[in-house]
Amino acid sequence: MTAATITTPLAEILRAWRRSTLWLAGPLVLIVAVPVADHFLPPDIHLAHLLIVAPAVTSAVAGPRVTALIGGLAVVSLVIAGAERGFLTTENVLVELASLAVLSGLLVLFSLLRNRHELELLRVRSVSDATQRVVLRPLPDRAGPVSIASEYRSAEADTRIGGDLYAVARASGSTRLVIGDVRGKGLASIGDTAIMLGAFRAAAHRQSPLPELVAYLEGAVRWGLAEFSECSGCPGCSGSEADVGERFVTAVLVDIPDNEPVVHVISCGHPPPLLLRNSTATALSVPDPALPLGLGGLSDDSYVQATFPFAYGDRLLLYTDGVSETRDGQGTFYPLAERAAAWTDQAPGPLVQKITADLEAYAAGPLEDDMAMIVVQRDKAPAV
């Protein structure tokens, strides 16, 4: 056992103790107050039955050891109260003592089981978080001569990844990015997300042209979806041959050359990126968009890249429909281009934060779909 293994639980215990200090003040005051009050109250008024409140409250906010301690103190308090009045050996007080001891023991058991469940849940969440970070790695702040900021929100609570995806890769002399949306949302689409991201990371760094990269992704996604559907007979598996044609990935892939002020774009059924410049937001709509990945062709000829100016200081906003199709209370779509145009003077990080905060305020509640967003800024190339 390492020092870290010992320190971490100790730190957790100390943090839990600080959080529960105020709550524990009440039970302790009650334990002291009952025998004191019984000393001054008439013989026909007895407050001992209130002592069960002390371990009950403690079990809700503290662990089994503290609950056992408070339960033991409550029993001692009852003994003192009974001794003060000379009723300690009476049947009524003995029944109260037995009841308090039994209930305190049950509350300790409840607290122990709850702690075990919380630790198990914490371990599961730790594994889940680690897995999700491997699948959807955080984007770097910089790749070559471009600055990058991103934001991701899953529609399902307690998850860091869903049906939206993004990734960046450096090729020789250029930066490549992908943003996409797997059909479906939340945990059910993570498998397809992993297939797409794995294929992009395996091939994006190669020197192949952008159309060849997209053709490779199409083949990998189609193979992955078919392979996944073949396990339909496995217990608990939801894949089936029938839904292969209904599963696909919309995506935009961009290639930003280091030494040329342009951006190459291929769109596979995905919302167009926005070019932000001088208080304007221009949609980079490609003239010949391809079908979503998983539904298109396998040849390079199926994919035609479009080239747009992307000068130093320009910003590129890539997003999923979880951003552009968020609705307000009246059902109106979020005006992404209009809002982004008002903030073209912002650096990538603040711009992403502004749009995210504005989007959440616009929705006036939890987002109903996964959303992903990337802002890329071309910085001046360093002097060679």
**What DSSP string describes 116-181?**
HHHHHHHHHHHHHHHHHHHHSPPPPSEETTEEEEEEEE-SSTT-S--SEEEEEEEETTEEEEEEEE
| Pairing mode of beta strands 315-319, 274-277 | antiparallel
Look at 202 and 241; give whichever has higher pLDDT: 202
Look at 127 and 118; give whichever has higher pLDDT: 118
Short-list 321, 201, 305, CA closest to 254: 305
Whether residue 242 is predicted with pLDDT greater than 60 in this model: the reply is no
Superfamily of domain 136-378: PPM-type phosphatase domain (3.60.40.10)
Residue 149, C-beta contacts closer than 8 angstroms, at least 6 positions apart: 141, 347, 348, 349, 351, 352, 374, 375
Residue 263, C-beta contacts closer than 8 angstroms, at least 6 positions apart: 254, 255, 256, 284, 307, 308, 310, 316
Q: What are phi and psi of 203, to 5 degrees?
A: -120, -20
- pLDDT computed for residue 241 by the predictor: 45
Kindly state the tokens that stand for 255. 């290639």
Q: Give the Cα separation of 56 and 103 in Å (integer).
A: 9
- pLDDT computed for residue 1 by the predictor: 39
Alpha carbon 173 to its chain's center: 34
Q: Give the Cα separation of 270 and 216 in Å (integer).
A: 18
Q: Is 370 exposed, middle or buried (0-12, 13-18, 19+ CB in 10 A)?
A: buried
- pLDDT computed for residue 250 by the predictor: 93
Give DSSP secondary structure letters for 62-83.
Answer: S-HHHHHHHHHHHHHHHHHHHH
CA 221 vs CA 196, 233, 248: distances in Å: 6, 21, 8
Look at 335 and 15; give whichever has higher pLDDT: 335
8 A C-beta contact, residue 104 and residue 71 = yes
Q: Give the Cα separation of 374 and 352 in Å (integer).
A: 7
Kindly state the tokens that stand for 40. 């001054």
* Averaged confidence pLDDT in the chain: 81
Look at 289 and 122; give whichever has higher pLDDT: 289
Structure confidence by residue, pLDDT tens digits, 293-350 = 988 665 556 789 999 999 999 999 999 999 999 998 888 999 999 999 999 989 999 9
Mean pLDDT computed over 145-150: 95
Residue 27, C-beta contacts closer than 8 angstroms, at least 6 positions apart: 53, 54, 55, 57, 58, 70, 74
Per-residue confidence at 9, pLDDT binned at 50, 70, 90?
Answer: very low
- pLDDT computed for residue 56 by the predictor: 85
Kindly state the tokens that stand for 15. 């943090």
**Residue matched to tokens 């992704």:** 217
Q: Give the Cα separation of 250 and 267 in Å (integer).
A: 8
Q: Which residue intervals of the chain bear CATH 3.60.40.10?
A: 136-378
Look at 237 and 332; give whichever has higher pLDDT: 332
Short-list 230, 210, 367, 227, CA closest to 302: 210
Structure confidence by residue, pLDDT tens digits, 191-207 = 788 889 989 999 988 88
Indicate the residue type of 168: V
Q: Give the Cα separation of 119 and 110 in Å (integer).
A: 14
Short-list 62, 57, 58, CA closest to 115: 62
Whether residue 159 is predicted with pLDDT greater than 90 in this model: the reply is no
Kindly state the tokens that stand for 279. 């208080």
Q: In the chain, what percentage of residues exceed pLDDT 90?
A: 36
Using alpha carbons only, what angle is made at residue 156 by residues 322 and 271, rounded to the nearest 5 degrees?
Answer: 15
- Specify which of 56-65, 115-124, 164-173 reaches the highest per-range mean pLDDT: 164-173
Q: Give the Cα separation of 342 and 274 in Å (integer).
A: 13
Q: What are phi and psi of 293, to 5 degrees?
A: -65, 135
Whether residue 55 is predicted with pLDDT greater than 90 in this model: the reply is no
**Residue matched to tokens 């009852």:** 78
Per-residue confidence at 235, pLDDT binned at 50, 70, 90?
Answer: very low
- pLDDT computed for residue 3 by the predictor: 38
Per-residue confidence at 147, pLDDT binned at 50, 70, 90?
Answer: very high
Mean pLDDT computed over 265-269: 95
Whether residue 17 is predicted with pLDDT greater than 70 in this model: the reply is no
Short-list 70, 152, 75, CA closest to 370: 152
Mean pLDDT computed over 12-32: 68
- Helix residue ranges, H only, 41-63: 53-61
Per-residue confidence at 188, pLDDT binned at 50, 70, 90?
Answer: low
8 A C-beta contact, residue 220 and residue 294 = no
Q: Give the Cα separation of 178 and 217 in Å (integer).
A: 11
DSSP 236: T
Structure confidence by residue, pLDDT tens digits, 222-234 = 888 777 655 444 4
